[in-house]
Amino acid sequence: MSDATVTELDPAERLRLIRETVEAARPGIQRDGGDLELVDVQGDRVFLRLSGKCTTCSLAGQTLGGVRRLLMAKLNEPVRVVPAPLD
């Protein structure tokens, strides 16, 4: 019998994967007139700022949920996506 263990990502690799995932999601959001920016990562919370048309879109929550699902698939761990306020 073999014990399957989950390997944790080191912090630098985890941040790199988060950045890559957010950047990969941006073109689709930009095509709709919005944009997405990674603001901060604190533990399991990923702070994202939506801008452009996303700020008034009723589907912005679904956009953040979609990014959350992408992040969870890439990281193989639960994350919370938190909207960051505009500056």
Q: What is the CATH number of the domain that holds 62?
A: 3.30.300.130
Structural domain span for residue 55: 11-83
**Is 27 part of any domain?**
yes
Amino acid at 22: V
**Is 41 part of any domain?**
yes
Q: Give the span between the Cα atoms of 78 and 75, in whole angstroms.
A: 8
* pLDDT computed for residue 86 by the predictor: 76
Residues of the chain with pLDDT under 70: 1-7
**Is 39 part of any domain?**
yes
* pLDDT computed for residue 78 by the predictor: 95
**Is 4 part of any domain?**
no
Q: What is the pLDDT of residues 2-12, one digit of tens each?
A: 444 456 889 99
**Is 71 part of any domain?**
yes
Number of domains in the chain: 1
